[in-house]
Amino acid sequence: MRQTPPDASGRGADEVPGVTWRMLAQRTSGWELPKGLDATWNTAVGLAHRLVPRRRRLMRQAKGVLAWDKHFSQLTDSRLGEQARETRDLLRLGRETRGDLLRAFALVREVAARKVGTKPFEVQVAGAMAIEAGCVAEMATGEGKTLTATMPATVAGWRGRGCHVITVNDYLAKRDAEWMGQVYRFCGLSVAHIQQEMPPHQRRLAYQADITYCTNKEVTADFLRDRLAMGRLRGLPSTLLARIAEGAPSGTDRFVQRGLQVAIVDEADSVLIDEGVTPLIISGQAPNPEQVEAFQRAAAVAAQLQADTHYRVQHKYREVDLTGAGKSRLAELTAQWGGIWTGPRRREELISQALTARELFLQDKQYVIQDGKVVIVDDFTGRLMPDREWRDGLHQAVTAKEELEIEPSKDTYARLSFQRFFRLYRTLSGMTGTAVEATSEFWQIYRLPVVVIPTNRPCIRKHLPDRIFVCEQAKWNAVAVEIQRIHQTGQPILVGTRSVRASEILSEILAQRGLEHQVLNALRHAQEAQIVAQAGQRDRITVATNMAGRGTDIKLGRGIAEMGGLHVLATERHESGRIDRQLYGRSGRQGDPGIARAIISLQDELPNRYATRISGALRKRFGNADREVSSGLTRRIFDIAQRHAERTALRQRKGVLSTDDWLDEYLGFAGKGR
């Protein structure tokens, strides 16, 4: 029997009669990126949707969920379990009303309180409602996104079509599945997780669960492998005909997934935006000794060419262009070689690639060397990616530059970008601590509205003005002095750097000053969770590369709040303001005090790439003065450069998506849409 509590709202967050955001997401999955007037119209629609008062409506719905609190808290475990099974049967039939949905959320909320000891707050319920409505919920760091996801995930599981909860690494997938599995199992649902080393039969069982925790990499790779197993078959009719004609499963017995129905993406901005254009490629070995020799020769030739004379480096676009003199010199240096070196176009491509590896890909920044191999460092999370390679021979070019053993390029069997893959889900939603800056992109690429959920307690973090210096040396000296000053008070400090190299430079400076500290970067990541968790204790100094997707809260030690909380110090601004906010958001969590500040220089990569002229003019004006030049003008330069970088990145991601659409239409094996 359906029961209605007092003040329970029966209207959706953004409903018009017969239409919900979830239905809109279902209708638009797999749609192509609009062009021309259609793109203009789509942008205008996105701007109009921002005016919809979603947050107010979601908070009102959250109050309706909380109105069930007294009812469910009085039930015994056995009776609560019975009601969970009744709700599951109702949702599986697809006949629920908005009131039924609010009741379902309230039921899961009570189960969470009993099984994991934490009852979701009102703002967490509002975030869950936003996810269920097909939005991206921005929830500040420490507001409990893992628990928030259990409510919409349970509802999706009850509908019986399967739900994928996407996390950023295997550790979080396993941790969250085990932690929240108690809630799901009490509600009559099965839960599983995917790990990189899992064999196919275990993956198949995991995907058969009602709720599956997995990473974006694993779920996309499994999708591609299934498509390869499908071969020439285009859908169910051709599969059934082939089975009748051939009397065999036609490869379908090797499938591990059961379809792409519902995806809830944690760290949605990192997965859908930052890594969105990263292609996942299924490839195989293709021995080619002549190609290996060509990479080695190209690296040797590149070392003999001079910047500005033979080639020009465009740091903004991360490209290298040969000059006329460079092309002539290249022809001279390779005149005695035959084969591919006789063709001007091919040899210029090889040398341009070698120069790109030499000038734009630096050790301890874009990559590190481990066990004699080049290992990529993720720009956004600072983590190692040993299972990834740069495309089109670039990885081999970097390896040749470092004079390491070169593995030949591999043959590509299938490729798919993450943004293309996630647009295939029937229902897509997500949550993250930083989404506002990407509101337009979430709408244009995925048609996902962004909803900012208020914090449970007011944020009282103090954000101090940036301190700006002319040169990097002056910046590092100021950073060290600031760390020493704060450390004398006992206040914990988290220092953010953009690269492994920068973190090691700062570590050496701190060691020279006798300051004990912990370093967390791609080379020192074995105790990541422990280092991050202890960063809020008295006298702690923690130096870390990008903090996106760490998945571990920094809790303050005893008496730290009275000192002002965790002090976050950024040593460089990122190309996206979201990444800066991810670092700053480590302090001031759940109403705790905190302080955030950036100490930066005009020689940093951001102004050099995206505000080249004005930053260069200011450096020339100030000379090499070892002093601070903070002002409204210098701070404004970094804001302008950051916005320019974000616009450039958006154009590049749209370009990749357009290429994906073209490949899908003319060359793809997957066909269009579904």
3-state SS, 132-158, equals HCCCEEECCCCCCHHHHHHHHHHHHHH
Average pLDDT over residues 43-54: 71
pTM of the entire structure? 0.82
Residue 16 clears pLDDT 60, i.e. is over it: no
pLDDT of residue 415: 80
State residue 618 phi and psi, 5-degree precision.
-70, -40
More confident residue, 12 or 216: 216
Average pLDDT over residues 590-595: 92
- Residue 370's CB is within 10 A of a number of other CB atoms, namely 12
DSSP string for residues in 433-477: S--GGGHHHHHHHH---EEEPPPSS----EEPPPEEESSHHHHHH
More confident residue, 515 or 46: 515
Rounded alpha-carbon distances, angstroms, from residue 94 to 91, 101, 103, 161, 623: 5, 11, 15, 11, 69
pLDDT of residue 9: 38
Residue 525: which pLDDT band, with cuts at 50, 70 and 90?
Answer: low
Average pLDDT over residues 634-650: 91
In this predicted model, what pLDDT tens digit does every residue of 472-503 receive, in sequence order? 999 999 999 999 999 999 999 999 998 888 99
Alpha-carbon dihedral angle through residues 496, 269, 586, 369, given to the nearest 10 degrees: -30
pLDDT of residue 8: 40
Average pLDDT over residues 51-80: 92
Residue 17 clears pLDDT 50, i.e. is over it: no
pLDDT of residue 204: 94
Alpha-carbon dihedral angle through residues 228, 232, 236, 237, given to the nearest 10 degrees: -170
More confident residue, 651 or 461: 461
In this predicted model, what pLDDT tens digit does every residue of 387-425 receive, in sequence order? 788 877 899 999 999 999 988 777 777 888 898 899 999
More confident residue, 523 or 71: 71
Question: Which domains does the chain possess?
Answer: 40-278+418-452 (3.40.50.300), 286-409 (3.90.1440.10), 462-644 (3.40.50.300)
Residue 101 clears pLDDT 60, i.e. is over it: yes
CA atoms within 13 A on the CB side of 458: 2
**CA 530 to chain CA centroid, nearest Å:** 22
Q: Are 431 and 268 in contact (CB under 8 A)?
A: yes
Average pLDDT over residues 535-561: 82
CA atoms within 13 A on the CB side of 559: 5
Q: Are 282 and 412 in contact (CB under 8 A)?
A: yes
Give the list of residues 6+ apart from residue 181 with CB closer than 8 angstroms, or none. 191
Q: Which of these ranges, 40-49, 255-264, 418-427, 643-652, has the smallest mean pLDDT? A: 40-49
pLDDT of residue 4: 46
Q: Which of these ranges, 278-282, 424-428, 438-442, 482-486, has the smallest mean pLDDT? A: 278-282
Residue 306 clears pLDDT 70, i.e. is over it: yes
Share above pLDDT 90 across residues of the chain, in percent, rounded to a whole number: 54
Residue 670: which pLDDT band, with cuts at 50, 70 and 90?
Answer: very low
Burial per residue of 10-33, b for 16 or more beta-carbon CB atoms within 10 angstroms, e otherwise: eebbbeeeeebbbebbeeebeebb
More confident residue, 147 or 530: 147
Residue 5 clears pLDDT 70, i.e. is over it: no
In whole numbers, what is the pLDDT of the chain averaged over residues?
Answer: 85
Instruction: Write the single-letter amino acid at 9.
Output: S
Point out which residues pair with 469 in neighbouring strands: 601, 628
pLDDT of residue 530: 76
pLDDT of residue 371: 87
Q: Which of these ranges, 177-186, 448-457, 520-529, has the smallest mean pLDDT? A: 520-529
Q: Which of these ranges, 11-25, 343-357, 553-567, has the smallest mean pLDDT? A: 11-25
Of 179, 178, 172, the residue nearest 196 (C-alpha): 172
DSSP string for residues in 180-194: HHHHHHHTT--EEE-
Instruction: Write the single-letter amino acid at 203.
Output: R
- Residue 306's CB is within 10 A of a number of other CB atoms, namely 10
In this predicted model, what pLDDT tens digit does every residue of 153-165 receive, in sequence order? 999 999 998 999 9
Of 565, 445, 463, 610, the residue nearest 46 (C-alpha): 445
Burial per residue of 663-674, b for 16 or more beta-carbon CB atoms within 10 angstroms, e otherwise: bbeeebebeeee
Point out which residues pair with 313 in neighbouring strands: 320
pLDDT of residue 29: 45
pLDDT of residue 403: 92
Instruction: Write the single-letter amino acid at 336.
Output: Q
Q: How far apart are CA 221 and CA 309, in angstroms?
A: 44
Q: Are 585 and 455 in contact (CB under 8 A)?
A: no
pLDDT of residue 274: 87
Residue 31 clears pLDDT 90, i.e. is over it: no
